[in-house]
Chain A
Amino acid sequence: MGQQTPLHDEHLRQGAKMVDFAGWDMPIHYGSQVEEHHAVRRDAGMFDVSHMTVVDLEGARCRDFLRLLVANNVDKLRDAGKALYSCMLNERGGVIDDLIVYFLQDDSFRLVVNSATRDKDLAWIGRQAQPFAVRVTERPELAMVAVQGPQARERVLGLLDPDDRERAALLPPFFAAALDDWFIARTGYTGEDGFEIMLPGDAAVTLWRGLEAAGVAPCGLGARDTLRLEAGMALYGADMDEDVTPLEAGLDWTVGWEPQDRDFIGRAALERQRAEGVPRKLVGLVLEDRGVLRNHQKVVVEGVGEGEITSGSFSPTLGRSIALARVPAATGERCQVEIRGRLLEARVVKPPFVRRGEALVDV
């Protein structure tokens, strides 16, 4: 048996099929992954993401430390509560993890990193923090609930007391606010509007039941994966890892090249790769034939070379199979994917496939 979140019994009560995820017992779905997916695109769904790792950083030199630690530039964070998505790189420019940095105050930042990479992340962050005298504190006592969908914010706001409601309602996208011992962020991993709420574990069941009573559908990790894939969001361990740079993972936009004298870990390797030419790129694929694209299927680009699907599934919103694939940089608009010995036709597109309920690619 794996680790359990504070919502474990709620999942069982709601009929979840539980699976192991990075050592945690987590709900994969509560009956129908596709219905849960649609609930998020059309209304509101909630995800228990308490397995994710919350890390608080404190110290006068927090910002200097983060300038070194992450590839995106934390100097973009000027307003309290602002969030920034970034990769944390090794010296080779490979991705140790992707994360969100929240700026709280000049001596206080919060990171949310993946649970599957928790141990190595904490070791790396702790080691890099030492010269800066930054205190690194994991917050395992916090639960985390993501509420996502066009109606998600309304449903959450309805559960807050008036003062908190007003502050949460005013949060712009990619901003967060501390409301007593809750931390509410207008972020997510679905391509829909919504909140991610970090709160004491013993308050999680009350929130979950309140959302349930407000008509928010419980959604498992299965729907979370198809939603993020449609939204073109990379998944650590599938779309990138320590042997892949952000430039090869469609994450160029998260690299803070300016100012040039900010020497973040991995910068030299990225500069070198950029100068030499990035050999591979991450693209979106829409399967034109019938079938389902899956991770690790071979991509064949005629006259160019071969690549591989890094995340493939069926898109419930598009009614087609879609994927993210790493292919040679010279890949054009078409390719083929080998599925059970046959080459099927696929179109190369620029992700996202779906955002805010709208299809962004032709099918």
Chain B
Amino acid sequence: MSDAPSDLRYTKSHEWLRTDEDGTVTVGITDHAQEQLGDMVYVEVPEVDQEFEAGDACAVVESVKAASDVYAPVACTVVEVNEELADAPELVNQDPFGAGWIMRIRPASAADVEALMDADAYLAYVESEQH
């Protein structure tokens, strides 16, 4: 069973969101997602100040196996990207909820973030997807 910290929000496309004290939100892909994709070899992050609508493809994670889009979980502006992934894409595998974060965003609305799935709902969703 994959891990899903209880203080995060989740999407059906397997991104996680952590709201920081300043109201910005850190985004990555879940443990389940990295496990499905396998060994990461390349991560293409967006540019700072890029704006996205919810559901826009905004980053790409590539494992040995395949390339997979990462979607903007809510309407947002990118405020920071994880530069370390350029040389260490494996951080996404090793620490998906920590050092493997992909970008920090400013959501258009904090309520959009709150409306996403909590950990229990996400784990139930993953479970249902596998059957």
Contacts and interface: CB of A to CB of B under 8 A. Distances in A.
Interface string A13-57: 000000000000000110011110000000000000000000000
Given A222-B38, A290-B86, A33 B65 contact: yes
B42 A29 contact: no
B117 interface: no
Contacts of A127: none
A81 to B, nearest CB: 36
A314 B42 contact: yes
Contacts of A294: 66-67
A294 B42 CA distance: 13
A5 to B, nearest CB: 21
A357 interface: no
A226 B86 contact: no
Contacts of A292: 41-42, 62, 67
A290 B45 CA distance: 12
Contacts of B41: 34, 292, 314, 321
B42 A291 contact: yes
Contact of A314 (B44, B60, B64, B86): B64
A313 interface: yes
Nearest to B43: A290
B44 A33 contact: no
A316 interface: yes
Contacts of B118: none
A41 to B, nearest CB: 14
B39 interface: yes
19 contacts: A28-B65, A35-B39, A222-B38, A222-B64, A222-B65, A290-B42, A290-B44, A290-B86, A291-B42, A291-B44, A291-B62, A292-B41, A292-B62, A294-B67, A314-B41, A314-B64, A321-B41, A340-B44, A340-B60
